[in-house]
Amino acid sequence: MIRGTMADLTLREYDSRVDLDISLAREVAAALEDAISARGAASLAVSGGKTPIGMFQQLRQMRMDWSKVWITLVDDRWLPVDHPDSNERLARVHLLKYQLEAAHYVSLHNDAATPEAGLAEVEARLRAIPQPFDVLILGMGEDGHTASLFPCAAELEDACAPESSQLLTAVNPTSAPYPRISLTLAAIARARNLLVHLTGARKKTQFEAAMANPTEKLPIKRVLDAANGIRHVYWAE
Ligand SMILES: O=C1O[C@H](COP(=O)(O)O)[C@@H](O)[C@H](O)[C@H]1O
């Protein structure tokens, strides 16, 4: 249900998280099908964390030609992919099953000791995915980070360079655990459909405050301000 707009940013509010998960999964699948019709293939980048789990469980039941879809993460913690805090593990457990077994998953991880050391190989691998991403789904942390673009990170300004040709960056947040690998702001902002998925009253308040603050420019505001394509925000209590 659409209940409001912030400038040209559509805010879609739902009565329950389940309603949101079903609706978002349907809209993601529809956008991917449109991309396949238009270009023969589609690409989807998803966030990790806790918020997307219910939506993943809806999306993996959607019937469409997933063999034409490339999927990756917007960011990951630089951890073994079977670590409980790995975003890849989350995607493998909750998303890449059932209908989505046919999709092509591109990992943001390799065996290098650090994201800095592994970055070039993962970047080359990611370039095989149809770009710009047809659908990219962002979460948001309570500090206003999105993907792994953390306000506290020394790498933030380079990662947010609007004209960067780099898809990926290494990030070492001081306020959150683990070194990270993340899509750059430029790679995120080029997405044809940029969707933000938020749950809970606290995150809604924080999101609205971040978007209304012209001076602090938290990462969630920076990517949405830079976005080229369709932007929607999905929220439920
Ligand atoms: O660290 C991360 O946090 C954000 C938000 O996570 P959530 O648990 O509050 O949903 C997530 O979007 C990002 O992918 C993840 O690496």
Separation of CA 37 and ligand 1 centre (Å): 31
Residue 5 has pLDDT above 70, yes or no: no
* Long-range CB contacts (within 8 A, 24+) of 3-10: 6/208, 6/211, 6/233, 8/231, 9/211, 9/224, 9/231, 9/232, 9/233, 10/231, 10/232, 10/233
Antiparallel, parallel or unpaired: β 135-138 and 69-73: unpaired
CB distance 43 to ligand 1 below 6 Å:
no
Separation of CA 232 and ligand 1 centre (Å): 18
**Structure confidence at residue 196 (pLDDT):** 98
Q: What is the chain's mean pLDDT, rounded?
A: 96
**Structure confidence at residue 4 (pLDDT):** 53
Separation of CA 40 and ligand 1 centre (Å): 31
Domain 2-236: which topology? Rossmann fold (3.40.50)
Mean pLDDT to the nearest integer, 178-201 = 98
Give the mutation target among 81, 88, 140 for probing the ligand 1 site: most ligand atoms within 8 A of CB. Answer: 140
ipTM above 0.95, yes or no: yes
Nearest-atom number in ligand 1 for the CA of 140 is 5
Instruction: Summarize pLDDT for 167-182 with one digit per residue, the tens.
Output: 999 999 999 999 999 9
- Planar angle of CA 43, 45, 48, nearest 5 degrees: 155
Which one-letter DSSP state was computed for residue 84?
T
User: Atom 1 of ligand 1 has which residue's CA nearest to it?
Assistant: 49
More confident: 228 or 236: 236
Reference 190, options 231, 146, 147, 139; nearest CA is 231
Confidence of residue 1 (pLDDT cuts 50, 70, 90): very low
Nearest-atom number in ligand 1 for the CA of 176 is 1
- Planar angle of CA 28, 179, 57, nearest 5 degrees: 25
CB distance 88 to ligand 1 below 6 Å:
no
Residue 140 has pLDDT above 60, yes or no: yes
Instruction: Summarize pLDDT for 208-226 with one digit per residue, the tens.
Output: 999 999 899 999 999 999 9
CB distance 182 to ligand 1 below 6 Å:
no
Nearest-atom number in ligand 1 for the CA of 76 is 16
Instruction: Summarize pLDDT for 46-82 with one digit per residue, the tens.
Output: 999 999 999 999 999 999 999 999 999 999 999 999 9
CB distance 48 to ligand 1 below 6 Å:
yes
d(CA 221, CA 219): 5
What's the distance, CA 202 to chain centroid? 20
CB distance 148 to ligand 1 below 6 Å:
yes
**Structure confidence at residue 149 (pLDDT):** 98
Reference 69, options 45, 94, 93, 97; nearest CA is 45
Nearest-atom number in ligand 1 for the CA of 138 is 12
Which one-letter DSSP state was computed for residue 100?
G
CB distance 63 to ligand 1 below 6 Å:
no
